[in-house]
Structure 1
Amino acid sequence: MIRTRVSKPLSGYDRRSRTVAALERYRDHGIERHPGQDVRYVVVDDDTRSRDRVRLDFEAPDGYDADCYRTRLVRAAAEVVSPLGWDRERVRRHLRDTTETTLSAFD
């Protein structure tokens, strides 16, 4: 779930951002969001530039755009470890060499 604060009214945005998509979906549900308020959404198809790229927190999305969240994760990890000389590519290489597991594997 992504939470972001609205900085201007829907009519004030000129790019088709995720925030705009979320604001349009809120409007479709009859919910107004004003500058300073939060919007909460899940990215379901970031390649789509319409309001269908996101689902609001109460819309119960049936999936999410894993590539979008993977990119966000790598960017966040690189910010944390950048003082140690790691950049995004080094984080990606490190993650490429890992194995997915479940918590039950540690019982």
Structure 2
Amino acid sequence: MVDDTQARVMALIEPWNGRSVLTFRKKSLTPEMSLNLDMKLDPQDAAECLQNVFDAFTMDFDQVNFSHYYPKKPREAIPLTIGMLIESARARQWCYH
């Protein structure tokens, strides 16, 4: 069941949910989807997307270590999932360090 926080986070992320190059369809957003690996957002777009969520829930963006999700070696990237944003929004602080 989707609660208000999850629905709100999903709505804030939706503008960054681009269409597939092959099918021109948008993927359905799920908590398991990652901004960096699944949605393929570049670091600037991901930062802007996160900032919108953090602003909406009055959270401190400076607590996010962006290099975990966008390292110099892309193969070392940790998924930055929508579920992480939902959980953090519920807690009103970034829960992953």
TM-score with structure 2 length normalisation? 0.27
The structure carrying a bigger strand percent of its residues is 1
Higher relative contact order (CA 8 A, sep 6+): 2
